[in-house]
Amino acid sequence: MSRTREGAGVPLPLLLPAALGTAFLVLPMVGLLVRAPWSDIGPALAAPEVGQALRLSLVCATLATLLSLVLGVPLAWVLARSRIRGRSALRALVTVPLVLPPVVGGVALFTVLGRNGFIGSWLNEAFGITIPFTTTAVVIAETFVAMPFLVISVEGALRAADTRFEDVAATLGAGRWTTFRRITLPLVAPGIAAGAVLCWARALGEFGATITFAGNYPGTTQTMPLAVYLALQDDPEAAIVLSLVLLAVSLATLLLLRDRWLGRSGAPGA
Amino acid sequence: MSLSAQVVVRRGSLALDLAVEVADGEVLAVLGPNGAGKSTFLRVLAGLLAPDDGRITVDGVAWDDVTAGTHVPADRRALGVVFQDALLFPHLTVGENVAFGLRTRGVPRAAGTATAEGWLQRVGLDGWAGRRPAQLSGGQAQRAALARALVTDPALLLLDEPLSALDARTRLTVRAELRRHLAGFGGSTVLVTHDPVDAMALAHRVVVVEDGRVVQTGPPAEVNQRPRTDYVARLVGLSLLPGTAEGRTVRLDGGGVVTVAEEASGPVFAAVRPESVALWLSRPEGSPRNVWPATLTGATPHGATVRCELAGEVPLVADVTEAAFAELGLAPGSRVWASVKASEVAVYER
Amino acid sequence: MRARLALVAVPLLALAACTGSSASTDAAPSADAEPTGTVTVFAAASLTDVFTELGQQLEDQHPGLDVQFNFAGSSALAAQIEQGAPADIFASADEAPMTRVTEAGLAGDPELFASNRLVLAFPLDNPGDIRQPDTAGIPSLAQYLDHDLVLAVCAPEVPCGVAAAEVLERVGLSDAPDTFEDDVRGVLTKVELGEVDAGLVYWTDFQTARDTLGAYTFREAEAARNRYPVAVLDDAPNPRAAQAFVDLLLSDEGQQVLSDAAFFEP
């Protein structure tokens, strides 16, 4: 029989590159595991900065993702469904943070929200609020670099969604907002979930924009990536330990989320 | 609650220009080939598409008036629509689907659920409220879609090829049920279809649309017997004979007996396509079970065929070739024998 | 067949001749052997301008020599060398990163060639209202700073941060900073942007940015000087050229370039 039976293995031209790709991505993580100072890991993990940095990282990444959802999903809808002019220009602008070096992003954030920024200076004078060097700044920096991932994911999902259901909802008396809330959103929920996961992961690993705009202060703005980078300067073994912690937490979260949110209501055949 | 619509739409290569009137309780079938503009017309009636010109009034209220600049959006029309693929919301239960139109109009959840369950009973889906649409068969889904459309007691009911996506067997049962529900519906109904059997079985009046224009309008029987264009002639010409079935025999209401291939019982239609009818000058001996005497009352040439109207115990419409017509020397008034193979008679519940 | 062999042989011989000149440690270098080839210098970021100039000088003196630089934070460079990066010379902005390298057995005897001092830099429009107090002699850092000022310093993991931590501890203001940057460039940027009231940077950094910054010296800076060591690495691919560069650095010429750039004596 020359026909392959369903599920009977991967064709060779695909198997080899796939295996190489897996090795390329997985071996560095294995390297971390191998080089970790397993015998000294206890005291290294117990240092208070580790717990602080980890907590801060998780909280800020989650807040950044929530902010990205609140702002990004409507933006994605406008890009995918509305007919306003200049949509392609808007889409290009929205994806600029993806190609901008993160440090440049940090400097750009200063020009708006820094003490001398055009919004920041008003906030400072009117309310005495300064944003740089606060935890809020971390969330803002992470949102800036991570939101485009969410917007692109959700826009793609909206484009691929079946718009006939929205017509059906209209004929049943649902206005545009009701249709969005009760029909469009639930139907693209898997796409939104996938985008949110990407966004969260990107926010968690963000370094350049964070250290530039929010600075680095243990407990307030020192996230895990910053702690790892600084540890690398004079104590590479500590850096490996911190990296492992971040890797373990990220893996655990991604695996948990995949099963719960992306598996059940996921794309057909997922 | 009557509908009066003049609609002009120009989109790409389609130039639609239709005017229809549908009274309360009346079912109008809009019949035509694909691409004729039927679905576009329906979308305009539903408010999903704004016409380029014209006026749509339902029960005296203008839903569209291009010269006055009025356009009532779909969600504010007292509408019910049944779509070709049912299009039940996949993420809601069947009950939630049916109650959807009530919930958008502010009906509280408990009352909505109760009304929805009542309707599910009426369409024969009692107890299915908690299931998901994916668990329904095609016919069940279409019934649920009908319930969903009717639950709000709309002024206008629109059906977009409601039976096209069903397999032949299911189509028969659902069509019969649809007939019953349409009979009990007090508003105006517009049914869009490319299948003449739907039009014949369900509608009081038929409007035939070709290339965006009305080419014929009238009761189904009239369109059937006196087609005004080739398309209509080819399309219709189906003979629908009401009768009562007992096993493989159907006793027609007007007298006469038809033998059919499938077993049935109760009130039915026996349907015969004109090309299935053979004409003989003398009584034929052979396999056909169905042979009847008839008188040729009308003959209309259409291309290479001649459409013959036959009167008798079993009134029929037959298509014969021009050559055959000439050879047999047929003319209005000629006495002939008509035969139809039992396997070519379709039978369905009435 | 013989012609083809000759075609192959000639380039091979030429290649052998070339590699022969950037000799291995086996061949005894003659006293007038010309430094040639490529020499790779890993140097602290604060040495960018000075080293680039010295490298140009060396290239002018020795045509055929190409000096390549890798400027980065000293700690990052030390890490790279530990990981086996191919460098000839390491010049660090503090003694600690060099100690890491020598303790790892990767370099021999470092020599001090310059030192640097911290100054308190602030934006020209002086949002923190930092003023020179009315005292005789150089004021203490405590007379400029308090906890209310928004202050940026380097993180203690990097050389300028080591010095900053030391001076802040001496005046009891260790918890005054609002951010610990991963290199001095980060501090400088924030001061230039006016996003912090002041930052502790090297005197040499202030020189490169004097149009946009003001700066005050303070007493504690002298004791917390960074000393800059340089060493030729043991596995240097081009030790002759490396030594030439170090010699230039330590010569009067080299020292003049350094002091013109506002570096202090080692």
Q: Nearest residue of A to residue B156 by CA position? A: A171
Q: Neighbouring chains of A at 3+ CB pairs within 8 Å?
A: B, C
| Residue B161 pLDDT level (bands cut at 50, 70, 90) | very high
| Mutation for C interface: A110, A234, A235, most C CBs within 10 A | A234
C133 belongs to a structural domain: yes
Provide the pLDDT for residue B192: 94
Q: A178: which chain B residues are within 8 Å (Cβ-Cβ)?
A: 104
Provide the pLDDT for residue C21: 43
pLDDT over threshold 70, residue C1: no
* Structure-model confidence comparison of residues A262 and C59, the more confident one: C59
| Residue C32 pLDDT level (bands cut at 50, 70, 90) | low
Q: A235: which chain C residues are within 8 Å (Cβ-Cβ)?
A: 157
Using a CB–CB cutoff of 8 Å, tell me whether A200 touches chain C: no
Q: What is the pLDDT of residues C112-161, one digit of tens each?
A: 999 999 999 999 989 888 888 888 888 899 989 888 899 999 999 888 89
Q: How far is A109 from chain C (nearest CA, A)?
A: 11
Read off the pLDDT of each residue in A139-158 and give the average, rounded to a whole number.
Answer: 95
pLDDT over threshold 80, residue A113: yes
CB C231 within 8 A of CB C98: yes
C184 belongs to a structural domain: yes
pLDDT over threshold 70, residue A46: yes
DSSP, collapsed to helix, strand or coil, labels residue B133 as helix
C51 belongs to a structural domain: yes
Same structural domain, C219 and C242: no
Read off the pLDDT of each residue in C37-56 and give the average, rounded to a whole number.
Answer: 91
Please report where in the chains the tokens 């959802």 appear, as a residue.
Answer: A69
| Mutation for A interface: B89, B103, B153, most A CBs within 10 A | B89
Determine whether the interchain pair B152/A172 forms a contact, defined as Cβ–Cβ distance below 8 Å: yes
* pLDDT over 90, % of chain B: 49
Q: Nearest residue of B to residue A164 by CA position? A: B87
Read off the pLDDT of each residue in A96-118 and give the average, rounded to a whole number.
Answer: 91
Read off the pLDDT of each residue in B31-53 and give the average, rounded to a whole number.
Answer: 89
Determine whether the interchain pair A114/C194 forms a contact, defined as Cβ–Cβ distance below 8 Å: yes
Residues in chain A: 270
Using a CB–CB cutoff of 8 Å, tell me whether A231 touches chain C: yes
> Domain ranges in chain A?
47-263
- In order, the DSSP letters of A25-40 are HHHHHHHHHHHS-GGG
Q: How far is B101 from chain A (nearest CA, A)?
A: 5
Read off the pLDDT of each residue in B5-34 and give the average, rounded to a whole number.
Answer: 90
Q: What is the pLDDT of residues C181-230, one digit of tens each?
A: 988 888 998 999 889 999 999 888 888 888 889 999 999 988 888 899 99
Interface contacts (A, B; CB < 8 Å): 54
Give φ, ψ of C68 to 5 degrees. Answer: -110, 140
Please tell me which of the candidates C100, C127, C179 has its beta carbon nearest to residue A215.
Answer: C179
* Structure-model confidence comparison of residues B12 and B152, the more confident one: B152
pLDDT over threshold 60, residue C24: no
Q: Nearest residue of C to residue A132 by CA position? A: C195
Using a CB–CB cutoff of 8 Å, tell me whether B180 touches chain A: no
Read off the pLDDT of each residue in B190-199 and give the average, rounded to a whole number.
Answer: 88
If one counts the domains in chain C, the total is 2
pLDDT over threshold 90, residue A112: yes
DSSP, collapsed to helix, strand or coil, labels residue B87 as coil
Same structural domain, C64 and C138: no
Determine whether the interchain pair C182/A110 forms a contact, defined as Cβ–Cβ distance below 8 Å: no
Q: Enter the DSSP assignment of B214.
A: E
pLDDT over threshold 50, residue A47: yes
Residue C55 lies in domain? 36-115+227-260
* Structure-model confidence comparison of residues A197 and B271, the more confident one: A197
Q: Of chain C residues 121-150, which have a CB less than 8 A from chain A?
A: 127, 150
| Residue A267 pLDDT level (bands cut at 50, 70, 90) | very low
Provide the pLDDT for residue C17: 47
Q: What is the pLDDT of residues A76-93, one digit of tens each?
A: 999 998 888 889 999 999
Using a CB–CB cutoff of 8 Å, tell me whether C181 touches chain A: yes
Average predicted confidence (pLDDT) for chain C: 85
Q: Of chain A residues 24-63, which have a CB less than 8 A from chain B?
A: none
* Structure-model confidence comparison of residues B315 and B99, the more confident one: B99
One-letter-per-residue 3-state SS of B135-197: HCCHHHHHHHHHHHHHCCCCCEEEEECCCCCCCHHHHHHHHHHHHHHHHCCCCEEEEEECCHH
Same structural domain, C203 and C245: no
List all residues 6 or more positions away from C43 whose beta carbon is below 8 Å from its beta carbon.
C51, C69, C70, C71, C77, C89, C90, C91
Provide the pLDDT for residue C2: 52
| Residue C19 pLDDT level (bands cut at 50, 70, 90) | very low
Using a CB–CB cutoff of 8 Å, tell me whether A114 touches chain C: yes
pLDDT over threshold 70, residue A152: yes
Same structural domain, C161 and C243: no
List all residues 6 or more positions away from B208 whose beta carbon is below 8 Å from its beta carbon.
B31, B32, B214, B215, B216, B217, B223, B229, B231, B232, B235
Read off the pLDDT of each residue in A179-200 and give the average, rounded to a whole number.
Answer: 92
Average predicted confidence (pLDDT) for chain A: 88
Phi-psi region of C35 (alpha: psi -120 to 50; beta: other; left: phi over 0): beta
Q: C100: which chain A residues are within 8 Å (Cβ-Cβ)?
A: 234
Read off the pLDDT of each residue in A1-16 and give the average, rounded to a whole number.
Answer: 73
Read off the pLDDT of each residue in B189-218 and give the average, rounded to a whole number.
Answer: 89
CB A132 within 8 A of CB A114: yes
Q: A163: which chain B residues are within 8 Å (Cβ-Cβ)?
A: none
Same structural domain, C105 and C149: no
Provide the pLDDT for residue C137: 86
The segment with the largest mean pLDDT, out of A187-201, B219-233, B263-277, is: A187-201
pLDDT over threshold 90, residue A19: yes
Using a CB–CB cutoff of 8 Å, tell me whether A164 touches chain B: yes
Provide the pLDDT for residue C26: 44
* pLDDT over 70, % of chain B: 97
Read off the pLDDT of each residue in A239-252 and give the average, rounded to a whole number.
Answer: 87
Read off the pLDDT of each residue in A32-36 and give the average, rounded to a whole number.
Answer: 86
Q: Neighbouring chains of C at 3+ CB pairs within 8 Å?
A: A
pLDDT over threshold 90, residue C105: no
Determine whether the interchain pair B48/A170 forms a contact, defined as Cβ–Cβ distance below 8 Å: yes
Q: What pTM was computed for the model?
A: 0.74
* pLDDT over 70, % of chain C: 88
User: What distances in angstroms separate CA A82 from CA A77, A88, A153, A195, C11, one per listed residue?
Assistant: 7, 12, 17, 20, 68
CATH number where C139 lies: 3.40.190.10
Same structural domain, C123 and C103: no
Token duo for residue C48: 């960018």
Q: Neighbouring chains of B at 3+ CB pairs within 8 Å?
A: A
Read off the pLDDT of each residue in A27-39 and give the average, rounded to a whole number.
Answer: 87
* Structure-model confidence comparison of residues B169 and B335, the more confident one: B335
pLDDT over threshold 60, residue C27: no
Domains of chain B from N-terminus onward: 3-234 (3.40.50.300), 239-349 (2.40.50.100)
Provide the pLDDT for residue A4: 54
Q: B89: which chain A residues are within 8 Å (Cβ-Cβ)?
A: 165, 168-169, 183
C20 belongs to a structural domain: no
Determine whether the interchain pair A175/B81 forms a contact, defined as Cβ–Cβ distance below 8 Å: no
Using a CB–CB cutoff of 8 Å, tell me whether A163 touches chain B: no
Same structural domain, C57 and C188: no
Provide the pLDDT for residue A6: 61
CB A48 within 8 A of CB A227: no
Same structural domain, C213 and C123: yes
Read off the pLDDT of each residue in B100-115 and give the average, rounded to a whole number.
Answer: 93
List all residues 6 or more positions away from C27 whose beta carbon is below 8 Å from its beta carbon.
C20
Determine whether the interchain pair A171/B74 forms a contact, defined as Cβ–Cβ distance below 8 Å: yes
Using a CB–CB cutoff of 8 Å, tell me whether A223 touches chain C: no
The structural architecture, per CATH, of the domain A47-263 is Orthogonal Bundle (1.10)
Provide the pLDDT for residue A48: 82
CB C226 within 8 A of CB C74: no
| Residue B46 pLDDT level (bands cut at 50, 70, 90) | very high
Same structural domain, C122 and C218: yes
Read off the pLDDT of each residue in A164-187 and give the average, rounded to a whole number.
Answer: 93
* pLDDT over 90, % of chain C: 46
Using a CB–CB cutoff of 8 Å, tell me whether B90 touches chain A: yes
Q: How far is B130 from chain A (nearest CA, A)?
A: 18
Determine whether the interchain pair A171/B100 forms a contact, defined as Cβ–Cβ distance below 8 Å: no
List all residues 6 or more positions away from C120 whose beta carbon is below 8 Å from its beta carbon.
C130, C141, C144, C145, C198, C199, C200, C215, C216, C217, C218
Provide the pLDDT for residue A262: 57
